[in-house]
Amino acid sequence: MIDSGLRDRAGRHVTLRPVDDDNWRAVADVAPRDDQRAHVPALAARYLVLTMRSDVWTSLAVYADETVVGHVMWGVDDDGSRWIGGMVIDATEQDRGIGRAAVRTLADWLAAQDGGHPVRLSYHPDNAPAAALYRSIGFTPTGTVEDDEVVAELRRG
Ligand SMILES: CC(C)(COP(=O)(O)OP(=O)(O)OC[C@H]1O[C@@H](n2cnc3c(N)ncnc32)[C@H](O)[C@@H]1OP(=O)(O)O)[C@@H](O)C(=O)NCCC(=O)NCCS
């Protein structure tokens, strides 16, 4: 379990846990709002298939207390940089502070890994909520665009 002790606005404890035999169905069923499907797949199931087929990415379940509320994944690039991807909070659980807690928890955990590798993520420039969230956590655009997405790196003073 990855736990920075953060809570959502309802006071629920937000943690990141491995996808396992008990929770994988709930993680697969995580769905964004319909109007967000331009930026993310219709179900987190797509990310689970990707991470099962990939040596790079690892999926995590986002929990609020004991309820699965989202999906996020992390990976290591050839240059050692750590990446965050696949961030989706279920439509029924958005705007409660869970996304912020989940990204901060994963970013802190990746930044603390040996080697001091940069922590990066990318987002579509039209995805204003995601851009605002990442910027407020300390992710700053690097100037690189990959697959039409803005690459941003965690920079904390
Ligand atoms: C982006 C996402 C993960 C945020 O999760 P969330 O739990 O709803 O976010 P939070 O409640 O923690 O809000 C965090 C910040 O996100 C931004 N945000 C969230 N919803 C927003 C909205 N509807 N409009 C504008 N900004 C918004 C705000 O900056 C907010 O900060 P605030 O709490 O100071 O207002 C969620 O909206 C989501 O799953 N979207 C669909 C998938 C997606 O776009 N993923 C990112 C791909 S790069």
Closest by CA to 73, choosing from 35, 46, 38, is 46
Tell me how far the alpha carbon of residue 94 lies from the centroid of ligand 1, in angstroms. 7
Residue 5 lies in a domain: no
Residue 94 lies in a domain: yes
The model's confidence at residue 157, banded by pLDDT at 50, 70 and 90, is low
- pLDDT, tens digit, 9 for 90 and up, residues 32-60: 999 999 889 999 999 999 999 999 999 99
Domain at 101, CATH number: 3.40.630.30
Residue 9 lies in a domain: no
Show the domain range for 55.
14-154
Provide the residue type at 75 as one letter.
Answer: G
Please state, in angstroms and rounded to a whole number, the distance separating the CA atoms of residues 130 and 85: 12
Residue appearing with tokens 């705007």: 95
Mutate-to-test residue for ligand 1 from 4, 74, 95, 146, highest number of ligand atoms within 8 A of CB:
95
- pLDDT, tens digit, 9 for 90 and up, residues 59-107: 999 999 999 999 999 999 999 999 999 999 999 999 999 999 999 999 9
Residue 149 lies in a domain: yes
Residue 97 lies in a domain: yes
Total count of domains within the chain: 1
Please state, in angstroms and rounded to a whole number, the distance separating the CA atoms of residues 134 and 34: 22
Residue 72 lies in a domain: yes
Phi and psi at 117, nearest 5°, equal -70, 145
Mutate-to-test residue for ligand 1 from 62, 94, 103, highest number of ligand atoms within 8 A of CB:
94
Tell me how far the alpha carbon of residue 96 lies from the centroid of ligand 1, in angstroms. 9
Residue whose CA lies nearest to ligand 1 atom number 34: 133
Please state, in angstroms and rounded to a whole number, the distance separating the CA atoms of residues 122 and 132: 13
- pLDDT, tens digit, 9 for 90 and up, residues 136-145: 999 999 999 9
Residue 6 lies in a domain: no
Q: Which atom of ligand 1 is nearest to the CA of 33?
A: 41
Structure tokens at 131: 């851009």
Residue 46 lies in a domain: yes
Tell me how far the alpha carbon of residue 112 lies from the centroid of ligand 1, in angstroms. 24
